[in-house]
């Protein structure tokens, strides 16, 4: 008959091995339970700085292109904050005495990923160089408040193939200011926005978009935001990562 120790092993070793296995299982399970659950990336905060083209004037605030963007699947992952004010511009005071600069001060925060400036024909009548200076100041302020934000500047549109020379001057000033601020300039005049379908896209006042016009702006401006969103999200993630080395 063989020694039982050869058949079953030493009892002390069996107990020790069993305890070790039990401890390994418990600690492994505990480690698994303490792993933080995977979370979705936070939405990119987008602040829209603008005039009545962005407030829904002539339709409703719910039909303005920034509001439509909140439910558009093409730009999912964006948290849109609409700071626009009727009548405002880089220099022009709006209905509540605000300008594009004060909109930046009131709404741009350190966690903002994209700042969109749109307009403004309301600055017609001001010296174009002064408009450019005010625009650059507003962009610089946005960068100071949100250092990682992407700056997208959309100039004032013209609804004709023969634009007002004053609008062209403003557009040129905004292009220069945007380049100095390191942003991206979008020129609706050069791209011919709206002019090919004025009757359907612009309302009876000849100035403000219809519901179709708001969807048109959503499609065109949204395309630029969609392109900018991944880089904006990556920049914000890097800023929030405690492992990121200090600049």
| Count of Cβ atoms closer than 10 Å to residue 241 Cβ | 9
Report, as an integer, the average pLDDT of 196-224. Answer: 94
Best CA proximity match to 160, nearest among 138, 193, 131, 127:
193
Domain boundaries, the chain: 44-240
pLDDT digits (tens, 9 = 90+) for 109-157: 999 999 999 999 999 999 999 999 999 999 999 999 999 999 999 999 9
Label residue 87 by pLDDT band (50, 70, 90): very high
Question: Rounded to whole angstroms, what are the CA distances from 117 to 38, 59, 161, 228, 233?
Answer: 35, 21, 23, 14, 19
Helix (H, G, I), strand (E, B) or coil at 57: coil
**How far apart (Å, rounded) are the C-alpha atoms in residues 143 and 105?**
11
Q: What CATH number does the domain located at 44-240 have?
A: 3.40.50.1110
**How far apart (Å, rounded) are the C-alpha atoms in residues 129 and 91?**
11
The pLDDT value recorded for residue 47 is 98
């Amino acid at each position: 008959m063989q020694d039982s120790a050869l058949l079953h092993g030493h009892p002390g070793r069996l107990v020790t091995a069993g305890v070790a296995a039990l401890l390994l299982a418990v600690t492994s399970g505990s480690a698994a339970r303490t792993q933080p659950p995977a979370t979705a990336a936070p939405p990119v905060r987008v602040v829209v700085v603008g005039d009545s083209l962005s407030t829904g004037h002539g339709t409703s605030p719910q039909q303005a292109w920034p509001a439509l963007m909140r439910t558009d699947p093409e730009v999912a992952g964006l948290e849109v904050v609409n700071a626009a004010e009727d009548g405002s511009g880089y220099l022009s005071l709006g209905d509540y005495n605000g300008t594009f600069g004060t909109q930046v001060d009131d709404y741009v925060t350190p966690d903002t990923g994209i700042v969109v400036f749109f307009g403004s024909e309301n600055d017609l009548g001001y010296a174009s160089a002064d408009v450019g200076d005010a625009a650059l100041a507003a962009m610089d302020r946005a960068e100071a408040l949100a250092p990682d934000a992407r700056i997208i500047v959309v100039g004032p549109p013209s609804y004709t193939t023969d634009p007002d020379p004053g609008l062209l001057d403003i557009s040129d000033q905004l292009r220069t200011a945007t380049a100095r601020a390191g942003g991206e300039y979008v020129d609706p005049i050069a791209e011919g926005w709206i002019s090919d379908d004025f009757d359907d896209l612009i309302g009876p006042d000849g100035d403000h978009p219809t519901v179709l016009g708001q969807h048109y702006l959503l499609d065109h401006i949204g395309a630029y935001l969609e392109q900018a969103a991944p880089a904006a999200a990556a920049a914000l993630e890097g800023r929030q990562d405690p492992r990121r080395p200090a600049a």
